Amino acid sequence: MSAPIDATTTPAWDELASLRDGFSPDLRGWFADDPGRVERLSFDLADLHVDLSKNLVTDEVLAALVRLAEQTGVADHYAAMLAGEHINTTEDRAVLHTALRRPAGASPALVVDGQDVDHDVHAVLDAMDAFADRVRSGEWKGVTGKRVRTVVNIGIGGSDLGPVMIYEALKPYADAGVEARFVSNIDPTDIAQKTADLDPETTLFIVASKTFTTLETLTNARLARDWLWSRLAENGAIGDDEASRTDAVAHHFVAVSTALDKVAAFGIDTDNAFGFWDWVGGRYSVDSAIGLSLVITLGPRAFRDLLAGFHSVDDHVRTAPLSHNVPVLMGLLNVWYTNFLGAQSHAVLPYAQQLHRFAAYLQQLTMESNGKSVRWDGSPVTTDTGEVFWGEPGTNGQHAFYQLIHQGTRLIPADFIAFVNPAYPLDDGSRDVHGLFLANFLAQTKALAFGKTAAEVEAEGTTGALVAARTFAGNRPTTSIFAPALTPAVLGQLVALYEHITFTQGVVWGINSFDQWGVELGKQLALQIAPAIEGDADALAAQDASTRALLDYYAAHREG
Ligand code: F6P
């Protein structure tokens, strides 16, 4: 990898800095004076209609941002990633999540570090389909001969957030009478509640962990195994002997991992394990075998459609010029807001209840990727990186935090995501409820962009101090992403869009978006503190004063 180009030393950065000085956004004026703005700034990317026109940019700013992408080597880095170069420098790995969704037989074949990537990806996909078909048809049976009704995915981070987000989004596609649940937190409440009403005879656990070393996942997997054994034994379904227990695990546990040796050590037959590779980052893994719970519940067809959606956006990124490359443009807009206009967070507001876990998913994707202070050569970053991503579905958010977006003092760029056709077309007797929902999406983006002037408030008869309180400044930037319906393909497109937005920002900032060293220290310390929780005096004495005091509080209040 070549040394990162310091974006702040490029001519485009200087250009943007001078455009920022005295920058006075005027969406009302820009729309009034420029009838071509919407058309020029709207893009159709596969099934996604993306309207960037309500962003705080002029053509000049956008052109300078595109030059920034050129001068920081965004196109070269895309090429390097897609070709399998080891752009994850700190882990010396290729970054090939895009290979997970290449169609079978793609030409030329992708061979990286001696591995025929296409062949291996499709061999696993075919194995997942075959296994899913057995579960879905009832051919795969539990230890007492009953078919599976619930799959419980045990994983955390990228081994949880993607599957749960997509399952929630595409639940209307679940067509085989198998539901999914997701256990992630090491808080025992999670597994206790998720298994409370389950029948062990019809439950299949998927232990999903890239490394198969993650404390939370292995702890939950052990709890799940104990639950299975004890509940089956209580029902008289199995005996208390080793052979019965092994047999129960063989019928009720499968695994997904890059570390099949560790899967075997846990006691899961590797014939019932699905692999992937170190070049798939955890937060980029939902389209690998980590998506097994989705293939089972939604069906192989839906999962392949999802992958095709991802791939169509990969193709766009690879072939579109930077000036018309939607993920690149959206990444550059984020750079503009973060580095030049002072934004610190970014809201993602789906007008689709099915996307209620989308913001949580994006938090890992964007913040674990770009929350970095050093560049890929180890030198400090030269500018702010990584916004805080957050959000909730509309209209719930409207009645909670939109006030601050509309009238607060902070700049919060927001992405609105909506679908023309609902999964559940309901009518309340007077009107189409989804139409009313969409009216809210349109109203919010309009209000944020154009606001309401004091004169307009006064014209409605308001006087005095209330005028200021009821005035909306406008010029609050939004991107609208509209699609015909929330199908598997559309969801794949949406996720790939954000993956590539994240990558674009990472390249401009010169950071490696594919490692996550920042999560390590807390993991190490938790293991050091655990003995102190259990009363080990030496471990307690080794803690700082605040941690010691909190441990004392714990000891004083612990029941049982
Ligand atoms: O939080 C750190 C992390 O490594 C994530 O990047 C990853 O998605 C998660 O832990 C789970 O890791 P694994 O799949 O190896 O259990």
Where b means 16+ CB within 10 Å and e means fewer, 59-96 reads eebbebbbbbbebbbbbebbebbbebbebbbebebbbb
CA 124 – ligand 1 centroid, Å: 21
- Candidate of 153, 184, 210 to mutate for ligand 1, largest count of ligand atoms within 8 Å of Cβ: 210
Output the furthest CA–CA distance in the chain (Å, rounded). Answer: 82
Is 69:508 a contact under the CB 8 Å cutoff? Answer: yes
Alpha carbon nearest to ligand 1 atom 16, residue = 209
CA 367 – ligand 1 centroid, Å: 14
Task: Determine the atom of ligand 1 nearest the C-alpha atom of 159.
Answer: 14
Angstrom distance (rounded) from CA 247 to CA 253: 10
Beta strands in 326-367 (DSSP E): 345-351
Give ipTM to 2 decimals. 0.98
Closest CA to 101 of 278, 292, 319, 313: 313
- The catalytically annotated residue of 399, 460, 520, 559 is 399
Full pLDDT tens readout for the chain, 560 residues: 788 999 999 999 999 999 999 999 999 999 999 999 999 999 999 999 999 999 999 999 999 999 999 999 999 999 999 999 999 999 999 999 999 999 999 999 999 999 999 999 999 999 999 999 999 999 999 999 999 999 999 999 999 999 999 999 999 999 999 999 999 999 999 999 999 999 999 999 999 999 999 999 999 999 999 999 999 999 899 998 999 999 999 999 999 999 999 999 999 999 999 999 999 999 999 999 999 999 999 999 999 999 999 999 999 999 999 999 999 999 999 999 999 999 999 999 999 999 999 999 999 999 999 999 999 999 999 999 999 999 999 999 999 999 999 999 999 999 999 999 999 998 998 889 999 999 999 999 999 999 999 999 999 999 999 999 999 999 999 999 999 999 999 999 999 999 999 999 999 999 999 999 999 999 999 999 999 999 999 999 999 999 999 999 999 999 97
The pair of three-digit structure tokens given for residue 452, joined into one six-digit string: 């309401």
Angstrom distance (rounded) from CA 168 to CA 207: 19
The pair of three-digit structure tokens given for residue 189, joined into one six-digit string: 């409440």
311 catalytic residue (yes or no): no
399 catalytic residue (yes or no): yes
CA 189 – ligand 1 centroid, Å: 21
Q: What is residue 158's predicted lDDT score, i.e. its pLDDT? A: 98
The pair of three-digit structure tokens given for residue 338, joined into one six-digit string: 């973060």
Question: Residues 6 or more apart from 361 whose CB is under 8 A from it?
Answer: 161, 162, 165, 495
- Candidate of 90, 153, 164, 214 to mutate for ligand 1, largest count of ligand atoms within 8 Å of Cβ: 214
Question: Residues 6 or more apart from 559 whose CB is under 8 A from it?
Answer: none
DSSP 423: S
DSSP 5: P
Q: What is residue 71's predicted lDDT score, i.e. its pLDDT? A: 98
Closest CA to 155 of 218, 104, 97, 98: 218
CA 210 – ligand 1 centroid, Å: 7
Angstrom distance (rounded) from CA 481 to CA 430: 28
Task: Determine the atom of ligand 1 nearest the C-alpha atom of 156.
Answer: 11
Q: What is residue 494's predicted lDDT score, i.e. its pLDDT? A: 98
CA 58 – ligand 1 centroid, Å: 40
DSSP 472: B
Element (H, E) at 330: helix 326-335
Alpha carbon nearest to ligand 1 atom 4, residue = 282
Task: Determine the atom of ligand 1 nearest the C-alpha atom of 282.
Answer: 8
- Candidate of 90, 159, 218, 274 to mutate for ligand 1, largest count of ligand atoms within 8 Å of Cβ: 159
The 10 Å Cβ neighbour count of residue 203 is 21
Angstrom distance (rounded) from CA 247 to CA 252: 9
- The catalytically annotated residue of 119, 324, 446, 523 is 523
- Measuring from each residue's beta carbon to the nearest atom of ligand 1, which residues come in under 6 Å? 156-159, 209-211, 214, 217, 282-283, 368, 516, 519
Q: What is residue 259's predicted lDDT score, i.e. its pLDDT? A: 95
Q: What is the pTM of this model?
A: 0.97
Task: Determine the atom of ligand 1 nearest the C-alpha atom of 368.
Answer: 6
Q: What is residue 106's predicted lDDT score, i.e. its pLDDT? A: 93
Q: What is residue 449's predicted lDDT score, i.e. its pLDDT? A: 98
CA 513 – ligand 1 centroid, Å: 14
Beta strands 48-51 and 253-257 are: unpaired
The 10 Å Cβ neighbour count of residue 127 is 16
Task: Determine the atom of ligand 1 nearest the C-alpha atom of 217.
Answer: 16
Local structure of 484: helix, strand or coil: strand
CA 216 – ligand 1 centroid, Å: 10
